[in-house]
Chain A
Amino acid sequence: MNAVIQARDLSKRYGTTVALDHVDLTIEPGRIIGLIGPNGAGKTTALKAILGLSEFDGELSVLGLDPRQQRFQLMHDVCFIADVAVLPRWLRVGEAIDFVEGIHPRFSRAKCEAFLARTKLKPTMRVRELSKGMIVQLHLALVMSIDAKLLVLDEPTLGLDILYRKEFYQSLLNDYFDAEKTIIITTHQVEEIEHILTDLIFIRDGKIVLNTTMEALGERYTEVMVNADKADAARALKPLDERQIFGKSVFLFDGVDRAQLATLGEVHTPNIADLFVATMKGAYA
């Protein structure tokens, strides 16, 4: 099967700032990719390029199309929430549904109404009367009712409370995702999407610093909780990161044999947030 996204030597600069620095990237279908990076790392720039919303240098093909020239055709199979609360304020909920149904051949009205039935939204309400959370609910309901091949979510749950965030990611996985679809998510609340991701990409200063599947992540990275007496032995193995918890040292290792580490202390797979913090050390320096 062809790659959903194929990028070669992708670059973009704003004045003297390099937002994307010769990025190579291939994304296969049927994956849920977390695109994680600090503010200003180039996440949004990369998504903009993929969605045909900005110019760039290099080669990029999305679903076999050039997003610069063929955004219109591309949007038949790609859906995105580029930012929170961008629905026009004058629009009514019912009009929004009618419009997307009229415009988009892959929109399912029944699905959308089922999503909205779980909310307090009514067809006659105007977007300007809605709270920020309700606008996001409406937008997500519209987008999740479109049977797209690629879904791009840029901070999709910003402004939503924890109850709705959990429910959203649950229904994204259960009601929306299947082997034909690909989802790219960026968010700062890494721990909330950890369990649904199949792939993880870290981006920093316009460069991809980590691109791995979640399985490979578990094989490659190991966290060991070490008592003070063995800490020097652990440091000798060149850990990525060291932090202190309850008088013990927690070391993060990249590509060190797990059996060897087990002799030093209790080993487990690091969570994404810890890995992120270790990888991005000095990102704002």
Chain B
Amino acid sequence: MKTFGWLLKREYWEHRGGFLWAQVWTAGIVLLLIASAVIVGEVLQDKMHATVTVGVSLSALSTSLSQEQMSVVSTALDTSLLSLSLFPQIVLFFVTFFYLLGALYDDRKDRSVLFWKSLPISDIGTVASKLFTAAITAPLMAFAITILMQLAFLLILSVFMLLHNVNPMTLIWHAASPLTVWTKMLVLLPISALWALPSYGWLLLCSSFARSRPIAWAILPLMLLGWAITFSGLLQNFALPSSWYLRNVFMRLLLSIVPASWLWSENGFDKSAIGQVIDGTSAVSGSHETLVLQWNWIFSALSRPDMWIGVAAGVAMLAAAVYFRRRRIESLN
């Protein structure tokens, strides 16, 4: 257990550039853009005597709001908080994808595997530490950055409100429900990790297996198989649509790390679900649903057979990754 803690620390030392600093930089740039947009807006507004709306027009905000209007503001705020979290999630996807491909390959390439193997560390422990880092450590760091980013965003908004003589305490901090948003993101984390298990397994397996270019091993065989299946018309024999392979094999193995991707893999792109997650306006104009990311979407993943088939496949590929980790040390010659 103590050893495992040190293994996690090692992963952090090696990859803090991707897991931490890339996130910090992205968050900083996004916040800077938002702040400058607010400032530009202010200047233009002064020049053009335009009106500003935050779901409801700003002049209306200075007077008291009806229950109805308040709920619109609420939803708009929660939606923008959730949209903000997309930026760390996008960074997280790319960083995790390449982290996993290099995790069991890079140290064989630079021969430092010989140093790690000279210490009492089991191969299963090594693979487990890489999996834990991708599935838990990195998303938790992205989550922490997201919280800070959202708080900074609400702060920028509050300053903006103050400039317009609106009390940000009632309008922003009361209306927004960051705690709900954060709870949902936190609950989403282990479910996303379970859903992504086939991707973790496949990428780690390629990383462990490849003697060179793990990324080619990860993508090319799947593409070749895809073409073979399409041209042979194999799927039609089983009365499956031609997109079946793409959705259930190709995407699951390569892109399950994409956050909440089960939402759009159910029936192709589930526009109603993903649309509301990405584009808050539909939620606003629609049912005034305060819960932007609904609980039933989150838990829908757990009742799907393809979730658990994926978990089983992921575990099998992780076992194979451990097997190759034990054998492949070709650098020593």
Contact = CB atoms under 8 A, between A and B. Distances in A.
B247 to A, nearest CB: 38
Contacts of A104: 119-120
Given A82-B114, A103-B119, A53 B332 contact: yes
Interface in B115-149: 115, 117-123, 125
B83 interface: no
A54 B6 contact: no
Interface in A60-90: 71-73, 75-76, 79-83, 85-90
A88 B14 contact: yes
A72 B122 CA distance: 5
A88 B125 CA distance: 19
B123 A72 contact: yes
Given A71-B117, A90-B14, A99 B122 contact: no
Say whether chain B's binding surface is mostly helix, strand, loop, or mixed.
Answer: helix
A103 B114 CA distance: 16
Contact of B121 (A44, A53, A103, A139): A103
A105 B2 CA distance: 11
Report, as a range, how many residues of chain B touch the other chain. Answer: 20 to 34
Contact of A83 (B114, B121, B327): B114
Given A53-B329, A83-B111, A86-B112, A99 B120 contact: no
A82 B118 contact: yes
A82 B117 CA distance: 10
A188 B288 CA distance: 79
B121 to A, nearest CB: 6
Nearest to A88: B112
B164 interface: no
A283 to B, nearest CB: 19
A51 B332 CA distance: 12
Given A87-B112, A103-B119, 13 more contacts: A44-B333, A53-B117, A71-B326, A72-B125, A73-B120, A75-B117, A79-B118, A86-B110, A86-B113, A90-B13, A102-B2, A103-B6, A104-B119
Nearest to A69: B326
26 contacts: A44-B333, A48-B332, A53-B329, A71-B326, A72-B121, A72-B122, A73-B120, A75-B120, A82-B118, A82-B332, A83-B111, A86-B111, A86-B112, A86-B113, A87-B112, A88-B14, A88-B107, A88-B110, A90-B14, A91-B13, A100-B119, A102-B9, A103-B119, A103-B120, A105-B120, A143-B118
A9 interface: no
Interface string B31-62: 00000000000000000000000000000000
Nearest to B16: A90
